Amino acid sequence: MSTTPQSTSTPRKILVLGATSGIAEATCRIWASQGASLFLVARNAEKLAAVAADLKTRGASYVDTAVADLDDTDQHPSLLAHAVNSLTGMDIAYLAHGVLGDQTEAERDFNTAAQILHTNFMAPVSLLTWLANFCVQRHAGTLAVLSSVAGDRGRKSNYVYGSSKAGLSAFLDGLRNRIDREGVTVLTIKPGPTKTAMTAGMPKSEKFADVDSVAESIVSAIDKRRDILYVPFQWQPIMFIIRNIPERIFKKLNL
């Protein structure tokens, strides 16, 4: 896939929520090379400053940032309004906020499970509700959201994380059904395991997908106004098979 700059008259205005995640950062590098205007939001001020500086050197026409805890839903309206004002509009909102969480601990402690569900589902729902209404008012825009193949079917190895992503994917399905007719694209991105800092300690992580290739696929899917993206592509048939294993068999598997 090509990552050469697009021949657009004005730079695209892109809001990135969770900008220091590995996949988000790789995607932003492509947009920076295209001369995009970027507003980056993340929790870690030091990492965010480093990412912003790197994107400026890579060709971004404008970069602004905000340090924020996206789990704090009460702050979302003012944060998003500030971001849109800084960009003087918004063409794409890219939501990459999320955590893997600790499955073993979540099995023992409800509060751990609840925090994973809040970060991966409730917080994105809050952000997307504001962003969707903003885009509908303008009959334009793209909402691109990182979900996961883990949400396609609950498995004992990660069902708390998986259920949070299943809820997010279902929310995006319904949101798309509501606002696509208003000229707004909703892209559900379902990556398989990807080599990032977040997955570095996981078993067999050396076999995970290359983050730059994943980012290229995401940028391409946004440009093509796709609805759902499995990345790498082979996860679509893999998850089709997994979803269709009869429950009497599936419940005995170690997945």
Best CA proximity match to 70, nearest among 130, 30, 112, 12: 130
Q: What is the pLDDT of residue 200?
A: 65
Residues that are catalytic: 161
Q: Does 10 have pLDDT greater than 90?
A: no
Residue 207 has a pLDDT of 75
Cis peptide before 232 (omega within 30 of 0): yes
pLDDT tens digit sequence for 51-78: 999 999 999 999 999 999 999 999 999 9
CB contact set of 128 (below 8 Å; sequence gap of 6+): 95, 143, 145, 171, 172, 175
Name the average pLDDT for the chain: 94
**Count of CB atoms situated within 10 Å of the CB of 193:** 17
CA angle 50, 54, 57 (to 5 degrees): 145
First vs last Cα of the chain: how many Å apart?
A: 32
Amino acid identity, position 44 = N
Query: Domain 13-251 is of which CATH architecture?
Result: 3-Layer(aba) Sandwich (3.40)
pLDDT of residue 195: 75
What is the reported pLDDT for 3? 47
Which tens digits make up the pLDDT trace of 155-199? 999 999 999 999 999 999 999 999 999 999 999 999 988 877 666
